[in-house]
Structure 1
Amino acid sequence: MFSTDRQTHRRIFLEAWRKAKAQAPLGPIESQIVELMRRHPEYWPFLEDGTRALDQDFPPELGQTNPFLHLGLHLAILEQLSIDQPRGIRERYQRLLTHLGDPHQVEHAIMECLAESLWRVQHQRLPFDEAGYLDCIDHREVRA
């Protein structure tokens, strides 16, 4: 479903949002996307400006969150939880949920670890370190 082409990837999110607003039927992934978007009302104005949303860059030095990256990381975490991959993430999620009490906060805590792990893959050209990722989540549990 997802593409490596930025605009194609973004169109999937924008189309899901458009369909939800029109009360059109949604596929399973679209339903997940829309649920995530509903938890992030701060992105709604941006998502409704299709042209800007397709083309805007989000350089880190400007301090803006990339809504598509943020929502995509949420989706990745939901997928990881659904298949317990890497093995043990579901258990760690449940432990964090016990401490934090809010699934969205738990996803954000895990998201920090996932983003850090993906940054290493991209910038240090290292393979994804599952053990390091899970260790990072374990440290979030300690702080929770």
Structure 2
Amino acid sequence: MFGNDRNQMRRFYTESWRKARAGEELIPLERLLAGVIQQHPEYHALLEAPESALEKDFLPDAGETNPFLHMGMHISLQEQIGTDRPPGVRQLYQQVVRRIGDSHEAEHRMMECLGRMLWEAQRENRLPDEQAYLRCLRRLAEK
């Protein structure tokens, strides 16, 4: 969305949330962000204090989840599902939702596959393996 500029990306999240709460007109990406943020009330206080949100480091070693990464993965999944890219992801998502019974929880489960694929690609310095990703999603849909 914003390359490597962490502060610019985080400002877009906080500003989108501010505008949504104020009832201001939103562009499509802001609407998408506001919808994801709405589903995560645990992040509202952080997003309503923009300066704190910009400065905070979220350390996995300390057991912290990065809310911006978490919400960004929701957005990535929603874009994948909307465009059916990689091909077949939309149908797998629908199967996971039917099996679990909740679309938000289905996305959380799918994020494990997405995160693993991205981590492996980064670790091995290669492109993400879409086929491995789809296999992981198929296993999730069939459980």
- Structure-1 separation of matches of 2:141 and 2:82: 20
Task: Determine the structure 1 residue equivalent to 2:129.
Answer: 129
Provide the C-alpha distance between the structure 2 equivalents of 1:14 and 1:57, rounded to a whole number of angstroms. 16
How far apart, CA to CA, are the structure 2 residues paired with 1:98 and 1:61? 34
Amino acid at match of 2:65: T
Tell me, yes or no, if structure 1 residue 74 matches structure 2 residue 102. Answer: no
1:27-54 CA-to-partner distances (Å, cap 9, x unmatched) read 1111110111110000011111111101
Q: Corresponding residue for 1:12?
A: 12
Deviation at residue 123 of structure 1 after TM alignment? 2.1
Q: What 5-or-longer segments of structure 1 have no aligned partner? A: none
Residue 30 of structure 1 aligns to which amino acid in structure 2? E
Deviation of 1:73 (Å): 0.4
Shift of 1:4: 2.1
2:29 matched residue in structure 1: 29
Question: Aligned-pair RMSD on alpha carbons?
Answer: 1.1
1:87-112 deviation line (CA, Å, top 9, x unaligned): 00001011111111111011111111
**Percentage identity across aligned positions?**
42
| C-alpha distance in 2 between matches for 1:59 and 1:75 | 22
Instruction: Give the length in aligned residue pairs.
Output: 143
Alignment of structure 1 residues 65-144 onto 2, 5 Å: 65-143=65-143
1:58-82 superposed Cα distances (whole Å, 9 cap, x missing partner): 1210111111000100000011011
Deviation of 1:124 (Å)? 2.2
Aligned to 1:38: 38
* Distance in 2, Cα, partners of 1:80 & 1:135: 16
Task: Report the 3-state secondary structure (helix = DSSP H, G, I; strand = E; otherwise coil) of the residue aligned with 2:93.
Answer: helix
